[in-house]
């Protein structure tokens, strides 16, 4: 029987504030890749919604899922980097100071460092415009490198 003094606790659904930005970015990727096909190689590394469920998270890890891997990957090398990883964070987590983590977890900080040691560029974006600009700059270097060969 329902007792208003002892309500049943319901689990809050996680809020993914960065999802709308990542979704809009991928729409831009789909359009932009008609002119620059290499941009169309960008893909999502994992489904973060799986991680909200412990059973699914366990399966994800058993299949090779790793904590801290950025959201998206562009497997295109340039003269400077082997590829580009993109992590989206909510705009409200944008760091106010250079010492702030900006919503980047300890697992992510560790993984980003390891990826950078392997000569991958890793960026954290807080809105779609920032991500688009970063990819355009990265691809500019790619085309300069490609045309110089």
Q: Residue 49: is its pLDDT beyond 80?
A: no
Give percent of the chain with pLDDT exceeding 70.
81
Query: Which CATH code fits 22-148?
Result: 3.40.1350.10
The secondary element (H helix, E strand) that includes residue 86 is strand 84-88
**Measured distance CA(36)–CA(76) in Å, rounded:** 12
Q: Where does residue 35 fall: left (phi above 0), alpha (psi -120 to 50 degrees), or beta otherwise?
A: alpha
Sorted by where each begins, the domain ranges of the chain are: 22-148
% pLDDT > 90, the chain:
52
How confident is the model over 63-84, as pLDDT tens digits?
Answer: 777 888 999 999 999 999 999 9
Counting every residue written for the chain, the total comes to 149
Question: Could you read off the pLDDT of 118-132 as tens digits, one per residue?
Answer: 999 999 999 999 999
**CA distance to 30, 104, 137, per residue, from 95 (Å):** 29, 10, 22
* Alpha-carbon distances of 82 from 16, 39, 119, 135, rounded to whole Å: 29, 15, 6, 14
- Taking Cα atoms as reference points, which of 52, 47, 56, 121 lies closest to residue 84? 121
């Amino acid at each position: 029987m329902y007792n208003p003094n002892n309500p049943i606790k319901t689990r809050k659904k996680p809020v993914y504030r960065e999802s709308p930005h990542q979704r809009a970015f991928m729409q831009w990727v789909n359009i932009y890749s008609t002119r620059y096909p290499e941009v169309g190689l960008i893909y999502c590394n994992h489904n973060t919604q799986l991680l909200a469920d412990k059973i699914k998270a366990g399966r994800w890890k058993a299949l090779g899922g790793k904590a801290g891997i950025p959201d998206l990957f562009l497997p295109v090398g340039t003269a400077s980097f082997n590829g580009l990883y993109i992590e989206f964070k909510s705009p409200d987590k944008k760091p106010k100071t250079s010492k702030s983590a900006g919503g980047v977890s300890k697992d992510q900080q560790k993984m980003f460092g390891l990826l950078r040691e392997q000569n991958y560029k890793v960026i954290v974006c807080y809105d779609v415009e920032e991500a688009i600009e970063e990819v355009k700059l990265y691809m500019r270097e790619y085309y300069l490198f490609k045309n110089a060969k």
